[in-house]
Amino acid sequence: MFSDEKEIKNLEVTVDSVVYQTDSNEFKVVRVTTSDKAERKFTAVGEMPELYEGQDLVLEGKWVSHEKYGRQFRVTKCVVNQPTTEKGVKKYLASGLIDGVGEKYANRIVEKFGEETLDVIENQPDALLEVSGIGEKRLEKITESWEDQKKIREVMIALKGYDISTAYSLRIYREYGAQAPTIVKSDPYRLTHEIDGIGFKIADRIAAKVGVDHDDPERAKAGLRYTLRESSANGHVYLPRRVLVDRAQEILGTDKGLVDGALDEMIADGYLISGDELEGTPQIPVYLPSLYFAEVEVADSLCSLDSHGRAKTGLDEGRVDNLIDSYQISSGFDYNGEQRDALRAALTNKVTVITGGPGTGKTTIIRGIISIMKQLGWKVTLAAPTGRAAKRLSETTGEEAKTIHRTLGYTPPGTYEHDEENKLETDAIVVDELSMVDLRLLNHLLRAVPEGSHLVLVGDADQLPSVGPGDVINDIIKSRRVKTVKLTKIYRQSETSDIVENAHRINSGEYPVARNRDEGDFFFFEEKDPDAARRKIIELVSREIPKRWDLDPLSDLQVLSPMYKGVCGVDRLNEDLQKRLNDEGHGGEGIGDFYVGDKVMQTKNDYEKLVFNGDIGRIVSLDKSEKELEVQFPDYGVINYKKGDITSLDLAYAVTIHKSQGSEYEGVILPVLNQHFVMLKRNLLYTAVTRSKKLVVLVGSQRALGIAVNNDKENRRFTALTERLRRSFKENEQRFS
């Protein structure tokens, strides 16, 4: 039996496996074996550095009894030593820590060198050539990886002096390499916008360790910059001065006068910009320079493009109507009045916005615009903000469509082939899914639009706004300066689709009607208890829907949730659906949370692999020893992910509604529960419902659904694009009057 002492020190163990670790990799549940002759096994829990199988640890802590998991060792301190036994060295090398050494080569190397293995790798690496299968290339890979690990250890030791956790030290090292300690000491607040997961509190704690005083003006400036960056991540283009100072003061916990003084200095030095008061803004706005100039440039660019007047071909309304009539006859489409207005506007105005909900014919209009423009001999460019949206646009029009980034020739970390110096060669640009386009991306696009070309912006203004700063579609519409056609008449499936009908009911603040009829496509199942709702969703996806509608649970169905956390949040649903839908793969070897057969989503744009944020695929192969896997994407084929790339993947059995923007699925299943209270909003529910083509199933409580339908209060974004557009157009009119 283990001792019941309150505090245990110098408990020597070897890591058998890492059972669980949080997203930050700090808190872990680890199975270990004691290093004494008894070789007792137990579970250790607590904050520990990055661990691998076979590592030797010296632990401090105490024994605790968990009501569900029984007796565990609660770790208060963990020191990592290099393994000393042959068994430990084998596990250590086979863990994937050293590139080029998997389980097979770990066994061969240790059989050859025994307990001296690590000393051989360190001091006589050429001796590894004596091991069967190791040639010059593999040796080079092993030695480079070993040296990298040494550098990491050296940097980690240096960063430990600033009280930085192991998990964050690794992220800092990956970003800055050997320069990490120098950068951290000279500018610790830089970490807040360059290292994922490090916010102001952590950077501030590090700053205190390196000697930054609590009332140092530079600390106040860092707090102001951080506050503005955080606000832009939440969609704001600027903050009113009073709001900025109050929020920064709350973060800093310092005197308001110090914050005001620091802000004045930053404005005077040009690090921040205090915009002039504009009609409609609550008070003087304060911007990050990049967002200020983006907002001004977007307003000026739209005004400049629009001011070129009618098309160079001299199209009058009579000829346009004849072209539309001719297209209707040849295509078989029967456009209603609103749709004809949209076509006419796109052909006779330099800048046009076309907005409308599902079933109002936006896609049909885009087809007509393209066909007529091509008939006139114009070159037409089609673009969308995401790969998924571009693919949909291409499929529905039969024409090539690219992401806006690819259209502009984007190259990381931030260069564009096409800009104000090298315009796109085109007569017209049609952009779909405008609601997803943020201010910065629209600015880059407008810089590359040639004078005299037509710009047609299409989107649903009632969907969720862009993830990035701004609300460009609504700001442009509200300005009333750009020709806008709003489509209101339901045109698609109006008689048979409950989805389309209910989407418009939700958008109008009316309760959706779920008839739950056999031939219907919109269902609601009452499950007030979150656990019961979760179990119902699992059954619907894995058994009931595939059986009744012949829809594949992985390729056709998508579970959407408003939140990550909670019983019916994305994280828990992914865990349960993975076990149910990938039982065979889940029982085999995996890398972290991933197993062969898993449904996964790319979470950031990767321009080298040409896979993009939101793309969904399936894991088709996995090599645990090499920490590599392959994902089959429907649009790109098989893509290889090495050890460092895997962090850009998430399980995708369930995803957030925000992540679903720009996608369409055969069927959508959505929990709507009281525990999602803070996220129960009309535009969120509307966006989720409009993602489906054939089937929508809501599971939850009538009360929660009612809250979502009635809650049309938007978290207002601080933007001034509407006012800047009005000013630019007014100044332009005065100039030419």
With a cut of 60, say whether residue 495 has pLDDT above it. no
Please state, in angstroms and rounded to a whole number, the distance separating the CA atoms of residues 89 and 97.
12
Q: With cut-offs at 50, 70 and 90, classify the pLDDT of residue 408.
A: very high
Mean per-residue pLDDT, 212-232: 93
Return the sign of the alpha-carbon dihedral for residues 130, 134, 137, 139.
Answer: negative
Residue 119's pLDDT is: 87
Q: With cut-offs at 50, 70 and 90, classify the pLDDT of residue 83.
A: confident
Residue 311's pLDDT is: 44
522 CB neighbour count, 10 Å cutoff: 23
Rounded to 5 degrees, what angle do the CA atoms 531, 657, 621 make? 85
Q: Order across the sheet with 351-356: list the strands.
A: 401-403, 380-384, 428-431, 454-459, 351-356, 483-487
What percent of the chain is modeled with pLDDT above 90?
A: 52
Query: pLDDT tens digits, residue range 543-569?
Result: 999 999 999 999 999 999 999 888 999
Please state, in angstroms and rounded to a whole number, the distance separating the CA atoms of residues 128 and 120.
8
Amino acid at 324: I
Amino acid at 278: L
Lowest mean pLDDT among 8-17, 254-263, 450-459, 565-574: 8-17
Please state, in angstroms and rounded to a whole number, the distance separating the CA atoms of residues 354 and 477.
10
Q: With cut-offs at 50, 70 and 90, classify the pLDDT of residue 664.
A: confident
Which helix (H) or strand (E) segment holds residue 353: the answer is strand 351-356
Query: Percent helix, strand and coil across the chain, each rounded to 5?
Result: 45, 20, 35
Query: pLDDT tens digits, residue range 315-345?
Result: 777 899 999 999 999 998 889 999 999 999 9
Instruction: Give me the helices (H) in 74-165, please.
Output: 86-94, 103-113, 117-123, 136-160
Please state, in angstroms and rounded to a whole number, the distance separating the CA atoms of residues 601 and 412.
21
Please state, in angstroms and rounded to a whole number, the distance separating the CA atoms of residues 418 and 446.
10
If DSSP states are collapsed to H, E and C, what string results for 264-327? HHHHHCCCCEECCCCCCCCCCEEECHHHHHHHHHHHHHHHHHHCCCCCCCCCCHHHHHHHHHHH
Are residues 89 and 64 in contact, defined by beta-carbon separation less than 8 angstroms? no
Which is it for strands 428-431 and 454-459: parallel, antiparallel or unpaired? parallel
User: What would you report as the CA-atom Rg of the chain, rounded to the nearest whole angstrom?
Assistant: 29
Query: pLDDT tens digits, residue range 514-548?
Result: 888 777 899 999 999 999 999 999 999 999 999 99
Are residues 582 and 597 in contact, defined by beta-carbon separation less than 8 angstroms? yes
Please state, in angstroms and rounded to a whole number, the distance separating the CA atoms of residues 663 and 393.
11
Please state, in angstroms and rounded to a whole number, the distance separating the CA atoms of residues 165 and 167.
6
Lowest mean pLDDT among 300-314, 428-442, 574-588, 592-606: 300-314
Per-residue burial over 435-446, b = 16 or more CB atoms within 10 Å of its CB, e = otherwise: bbbbbbbbbbbb
With a cut of 90, say whether residue 294 has pLDDT above it. yes
232 CB neighbour count, 10 Å cutoff: 23
Residue 458's pLDDT is: 97
Query: At 42, phi and psi to the nearest 5?
Result: -160, 175
Residue 519's pLDDT is: 79
CA distances 314 to 309, 343, 379, Å, are: 10, 16, 17
Tell me, what DSSP letter sits at residue 73? E
Structure tokens at 727: 């000013």
Q: With cut-offs at 50, 70 and 90, classify the pLDDT of residue 1.
A: very low
The string of DSSP codes covering 640-691 is: EE-TTTGGGEEE-SEEETGGGTT--EEEEEEEE-GGGGGG--HHHHHHHHTT
Residues in the chain: 737
Structure tokens at 469: 């700063």
Structure tokens at 259: 């914050």
Please state, in angstroms and rounded to a whole number, the distance separating the CA atoms of residues 128 and 139.
7
With a cut of 70, say whether residue 219 has pLDDT above it. yes
Cα atoms in the 13 Å half-sphere on the side-chain side of 373: 31
Lowest mean pLDDT among 259-263, 355-359, 609-613, 726-730: 609-613
Which helix (H) or strand (E) segment holds residue 614: the answer is none
pTM of the model: 0.80
Which runs of E-coded beta strand occur in 435-555?
Answer: 454-459, 483-487, 522-526
527 burial class (0-12, 13-18, 19+ CB within 10 angstroms)? buried
226 burial class (0-12, 13-18, 19+ CB within 10 angstroms)? buried
Which helix (H) or strand (E) segment holds residue 397: the answer is helix 387-397
Lowest mean pLDDT among 129-133, 222-226, 425-429: 129-133
Which helix (H) or strand (E) segment holds residue 9: the answer is strand 8-21
Please state, in angstroms and rounded to a whole number, the distance separating the CA atoms of residues 145 and 140.
8
Query: At 594, phi and psi to the nearest 5?
Result: -105, 140
User: Which residue has 């001299």 as its token pair?
Assistant: 314
Please state, in angstroms and rounded to a whole number, the distance separating the CA atoms of residues 418 and 696.
41
Rounded to 5 degrees, what angle do the CA atoms 249, 255, 257 make? 95
Three-state SS at 633: strand
Cα 710–chain centre separation: 28
Closest by Cα among 581, 643, 585, 646 to 611: 646
249 CB neighbour count, 10 Å cutoff: 20
